[in-house]
Amino acid sequence: MSRLLITADWHIRSTVPSCIEATPEEWMEFQKKSVHRVLEIAKENNVDEIDVGGDLYHSERTSTNECTYLLQDAAQEADEQGTPMYIFAGNHDLINHSSSNIPKSAIGVLLNSKCVHNMAKDTSYIKACNFDEDNYGDARMIFKHVLTMPSKDKPDFIDCETPETLLEKYSSAQWVFTGDYHKNFEYCSNHRHVINSGCLMRQAADFEDYTPGVYIVDTETEDVNFVPIGLEQKFNHNGYEKKALDQTIENFVEGIKAEDVTLDYISSLRKEALNHDKLLQDKINDWIEQSGN
């Protein structure tokens, strides 16, 4: 195998992101079109396989049967066109971010599907581990779902990997494919590569100008090409007036400090969310999902 389509962070979900103007039906249809576009790009570029580097789902809470059917159908179509789809679990795919919970998570159902190939087990020429595992040995090509940012973009207060630290840590690897960071980038030094494909769809208010896409990688020639997905999304700007959002967050914090909230942090978040509008409720739920609860 030499020609790969590299992608990650699909975040398939039943709920419409707060920044997107769409009905639930329109949002689900857009997700189907985005995934189908990946299959089209794979076929157009004659790749050997599609590699999805984690976070196929947005969260367990929003992983409905329809989301799983969407992914199963895509995997079946990929197999039929001769570009099998390989996956492994990212943090958003797992309850409590633990691979021990795969049987309890939607991704567990997906991994048991006929046409879905488990990259974490099928390691004939690559090495991939689920989010909370790190057993890469001396593999030449690895997939790792870990927050990785270009050195020039990394703020001092964020604890994450950079391409340089990853290549130092995995000294035998020529190719490192990462996920979790939602902006795409490519790094190469002395014929050693780190590629982060970014998110497949825009799902945050500050990503309106971002270009989602996938990478086509030839591991023999070392050619790397970024291919945009090329689908338009309609953003809801009215819900993200900064002054209004700042005020609702201030009100939320005051509510959390009240004496009648429980001492359990997640319970407190859920309880206080009920006192605020949908914009802040969605934001709080996103925080909860990010924490894995």
Would you say 209 and 184 are in contact if contact means Cβ atoms under 8 Å apart? no
Which strand (E) or helix (H) includes residue 194? strand 192-196
pLDDT digits (tens, 9 = 90+) for 71-88: 999 999 999 999 999 999
3-state secondary structure of 191: coil
- The fraction of the chain above a pLDDT of 70, given in percent, is 78
Q: Cβ atoms within 10 A of the Cβ of 164, count?
A: 13
Least confident of 27-31, 51-55, 98-102, 289-293: 289-293
pLDDT digits (tens, 9 = 90+) for 5-28: 999 999 999 999 988 999 999 999
**Considering the entire predicted model, what is its pTM?**
0.81
pLDDT attached to residue 285: 66
Amino acid letter for position 123: T
Q: How much is the average pLDDT of 34-60?
A: 96
Q: How much is the average pLDDT of 56-85?
A: 95
Confidence of residue 205 (pLDDT cuts 50, 70, 90): confident
Query: What is the token pair recorded at 144?
Result: 């790792």
Q: How much is the average pLDDT of 126-143?
A: 87
Confidence of residue 37 (pLDDT cuts 50, 70, 90): very high
Least confident of 36-40, 131-135, 164-168: 131-135
pLDDT attached to residue 76: 97
pLDDT digits (tens, 9 = 90+) for 136-194: 888 899 999 999 999 998 888 788 999 999 999 999 999 999 999 999 999 999 999 99
Average pLDDT, the chain: 86
pLDDT attached to residue 289: 58
Amino acid letter for position 40: E
| 161 vs 266: CA distance, rounded Å | 28
Contacts of 122 (CB under 8 A, 6+ apart): 86
